[in-house]
Amino acid sequence: MFEGQPKGLYALALANTGERFGYYTMLAVFVLFLQANFGFSAGTAGLIYSVFLGFVYFLPLFGGMLADKFGFGKMVTIGISIMFLGYLLLAIPLGAGTAAITAMVCALALICTGTGLFKGNLQVMVGNLYDDPRYTNKRDSGFQIFYMAINVGAMFAPTAAIEMMKWAQNSLGMSEADSYHLAFAVACVSLIISIAIYYVLRSTFKHADRNKVSAASNSAVEELSPAQTKERIICLCLVFAVVIFFWMAFHQNGSTLTYFARDYTATTSTGIASMAFDVVNLVFGIVIIYGLFGLFQSKTGKGKGISVAVIAAAIIGLVYKYNGLPDVTNVSAPIFQHFNACFVVALTPVSIALFGMLSQKGKEPSAPLKIGLGMLVAAVAYILLTVGSIGFPVPEFDAAGQPMHMADASPNLLISTYLILTFAELLLSPIGISFVSKVAPPKYAGMMMGGWFVSTAIGNFLVSIPALMWGASLVVVWGTLVGICLLAALFIFVILKRLEKVAK
């Protein structure tokens, strides 16, 4: 799956991996920090979380507009510098008073602004790499690889946050509330690594740091008529409308799904099942999957031998880790967030191989159809969680307003939910970004990629709705998300032919 891709893809993907590692380290514990440090209710913490996520994904619209005028690379550099200042401010323990709340708000504003300049514009440069006719048919798989790299960073983030907090409490004697700040400091380090990668490897993608309009003037790119431009923009906006509801459902991972992990899921695990809560074991599993692909795809005896050796080493590693398992493994609520990222990394080659096989047979679904299927799969995830939550009591809170542990559901319920949501994400997110980069009118490339993030932002604002419902029946909370996903899927199927027409 890595063959035939432009070199610049890997440089941009690695730069984004570092930034996403820091972002998801912070996000893994953010709502828990808001409750532990400031005493906020689940609804208030969820609202702050969703507003923050909303601005993180809304501001790329303006970042894209600025990049269309001043250059994508320049905005990426400015953005990552602003983000660094935000994470640095968030890493300073200031207590729980007015000054601390003000500092937190300022930090979040800086992170949102910096991300708005960085995130979308980096992805536009990835799309620009595939304007070269040599790579045109690799666009979808290229964005899947890029998306996988993002999740490599996210995969280790929850463990980094938890271990940093443990070290702060056990070695430095910090309180739980203060230990969160060291987890946020990890993001500062990751951004330094990210910008270093960006500049060291910049020669591989420097040609993609340009406006498509200026590039088109020196190429054979056909000029779009006003009618064609209008139709493309309308179709993209229709897709954006559907994407809103996917992200509303998907980004419950840092909100109600984390609450469910804390309040309704067993806090301990034993035996082989507990291996899933150590990211190293998951990495070994991922190595085995990639090794198997290498074994069956390699055309030389040497290549097959290397694949067998890699698989054997990973199996030995798993056996060693299993033999060293403690009698009981503590399960912390944030750790569940590493499953989605691990599943993305593990399943990306499976997805690329599957759609590659279908493409060879002329049966690969169109990008809009994949988006619709993604919404259906997301609905299935919440149907599973709805069924699994039947009979659970409504959330309750103690006299201090803190949440109480209500049940000990099997961790497999949440793990399975994350697995199904990952299938939905792989159908919708990287394919959707690829669709935008392909269909967007050249002179609006940055703005249209920003539009993708605006739809994500609106979805993230809506993330707060289930959080505000926390206290009602879980069946009602999850059932609401099921209904939203099904309605969004129905909408995309109704407009499918129109979308497929502009994608040709």
Does the pLDDT at position 221 exceed 50? no
Domain count, the chain: 2
pLDDT of residue 217: 42
Q: Exposed, middle or buried: residue 171 (CB in 10 Å: 0-12, 13-18, 19+)?
A: exposed
Same domain, residue pair 234 and 340: yes
pLDDT of residue 211: 57
Asked, for residue 326, whether it belongs to a domain, the answer is: yes
Asked, for residue 208, whether it belongs to a domain, the answer is: no
Q: Report how far residue 122's alpha carbon sits from residue 195's, in angstroms, rounded to the nearest whole number.
A: 12
- 308 confidence band (pLDDT: 50, 70, 90): very high
- What average pLDDT does the chain have? 84
Q: What percent of the chain has pLDDT over 70?
A: 96
Asked, for residue 47, whether it belongs to a domain, the answer is: yes
Does the pLDDT at position 341 exceed 50? yes
Q: Which H/E stretch holds residue 329?
A: strand 329-330
pLDDT of residue 3: 65
Same domain, residue pair 291 and 155: no
Alpha-carbon separation of residue 410 from 65, 264, 268, 269, 385 (angstroms):
47, 9, 10, 9, 12
Same domain, residue pair 274 and 369: no
Alpha-carbon separation of residue 437 from 64, 331, 429, 501 (angstroms):
13, 40, 12, 16
Average pLDDT over residues 39-68: 83
Same domain, residue pair 373 and 339: yes
Within 10 angstroms of residue 472's Cβ, the number of other Cβ atoms is 13
Same domain, residue pair 315 and 373: no
Same domain, residue pair 45 and 94: yes
- The whole domain housing 318 covers 269-330
pTM summary value:
0.75
Asked, for residue 217, whether it belongs to a domain, the answer is: no
**In b/e form, how buried is each residue of 120-144, taking b as 16+ CB within 10 angstroms?**
bbbbbbbbbbbbeeebeebbbbbbb
CATH of residue 92? 1.20.1250.20
pLDDT of residue 388: 93
Same domain, residue pair 243 and 134: yes
Asked, for residue 49, whether it belongs to a domain, the answer is: yes
Asked, for residue 450, whether it belongs to a domain, the answer is: yes
Residue ending a domain, among 330, 353, 383, is 330
Is 490 within 8 Å of 372 (Cβ atoms)? no
pLDDT of residue 213: 45
Does the pLDDT at position 144 exceed 80? no
Asked, for residue 160, whether it belongs to a domain, the answer is: yes
Residue ending a domain, among 330, 350, 372, is 330
Same domain, residue pair 294 and 160: no
Is 328 within 8 Å of 270 (Cβ atoms)? yes
Q: Report how far residue 136's alpha carbon sits from residue 5's, in angstroms, rounded to the nearest whole number.
A: 10
Same domain, residue pair 337 and 324: no
Does the pLDDT at position 110 exceed 90? yes
* Terminal alpha carbon distance of the chain: 23
Positive or negative, the CA dihedral 16, 20, 23, 25 is negative
Asked, for residue 357, whether it belongs to a domain, the answer is: yes
SS3 196: helix
Does the pLDDT at position 2 exceed 70? no
Same domain, residue pair 35 and 163: yes
pLDDT, tens only, 256-305: 898 899 999 998 998 899 999 988 999 999 999 988 888 887 778 888 89
Same domain, residue pair 188 and 309: no
Residue ending a domain, among 330, 346, 364, is 330
pLDDT of residue 480: 93
Average pLDDT over residues 476-488: 93
Same domain, residue pair 93 and 193: yes
Q: Exposed, middle or buried: residue 329 (CB in 10 Å: 0-12, 13-18, 19+)?
A: middle
pLDDT of residue 215: 46
Per DSSP, 59 falls in state: T
Q: Report how far residue 416's alpha carbon sits from residue 427's, in angstroms, rounded to the nearest whole number.
A: 17
